[in-house]
Homo-oligomer: A and B are copies of this chain.
């Protein structure tokens, strides 16, 4: 076996080929072409169930899992999770549109965001979203104005910044001093905003929101965030008499990408137990009823449910090493460029072979850093071989980077119902569909050169 596998949905069949949920991935690539995203419906459901079970076991209050659609907004994926009971967390108007299009019930949509204008709040209130997370005072007053104009109550959480140290890549640490998100607790800014908010007529403040960052592999920062929120609730309750109905701890649960991490994934049960304990004991001490907890996982639900299949276009020997050129590129895997993300690679059609050489995987794009993976131990790879790039479900398709006009690949979903195309690939005509060449230019003749 080359490459290590992140979960039990993968196996190697009699022909030595990698399978997912029993489907031969080489056959799928043959039928649908490459590059191709393949998503497992079964794994999506199981990831959701694990989260729900963990909190059912450890928290006596209600726990809501809101899928952060920004991680992967393929509509069929949102739909599968919504059918299981997940809420949707949407950050922008277009994400809200997608959740609604996928049939998520508006009252199960949580609208977060960084700096919404009146039109966006109006759209959200008209759609009847369940909760709106407000980021800072200017937003609060805009929302009050719009809600008043529409004559509807806005159900609101206020986002606070606990200004912690968060152990992750600085690009994706949010609950840190100096970040653009939320109102600051330590300086007293957050308390002041709650005081303002509680005096409003149309904004009904129901709770507190925070989000500390992404790709966090340890439970401890979440426990610390929960603890800081309890401390803030004590202040809010003591000074303003506020009793939160919701406590939203955001998302950010990491997933294993490297083989050595597969054995020690993020411990959901430990998270549920420790966070529940902090909140339950804290609220008991304050004499408050247990809040509804909200979590907004994105990566944790989708990352390991989707893979990218890529064909080997060629093998290039250079004085400094061997490049395997794929028809996939860093366009499809922008986290490689943004946070130096590692993705595990498996040689699908020779999955039973042991590694024998060291290679780097390159995409066909016109820049030097279009390198997908460096110095990987693989069996001997030949042109035409098929590679599976694992755990690409989060922030790959939804953070597509466009270089060299490479069109977006299609996505198929695997389930007991068969292989279904759930997103077609982009065509060449899609790429130019928004362009107009003014007739005066199109009918002109070139200047003699």
Contact = CB atoms under 8 A, between A and B. Distances in A.
B83 A441 contact: yes
Contacts of A316: 115, 135-136, 138, 180
Nearest to A324: B115
Contacts of A109: none
Interface string A310-335: 00011110111101010100000010
Contact of A369 (B171, B404, B405, B442): B171
A75 B440 CA distance: 14
Given A136-B316, A435-B75, A404 B368 contact: no
A368 B172 contact: yes
A319 B187 contact: yes
Interface in A418-449: 420-426, 428, 430-438, 440-442, 444-449
A114 B368 contact: no
A319 B177 contact: yes
A404 B94 contact: yes
16 contacts: A74-B435, A92-B364, A95-B404, A102-B437, A114-B364, A114-B365, A115-B316, A139-B314, A170-B369, A172-B367, A180-B316, A214-B367, A334-B401, A337-B337, A337-B338, A400-B402
Interface of A: 52, 69-70, 73-76, 79-80, 82-85, 91-95, 97-98, 101-103, 105, 112-117, 135-136, 138-139, 170-174, 176-181, 184, 186-187, 189, 213-214, 313-316, 318-321, 323, 325, 327, 334, 337-338, 362-371, 383, 398-408, 410, 413, 417, 420-426, 428, 430-438, 440-442, 444-449
Contacts of A85: 446-449
B403 A70 contact: yes
B366 A91 contact: yes
A302 to B, nearest CB: 15
B95 A405 contact: yes
A417 B440 contact: yes
Contacts of A365: 91-92, 114
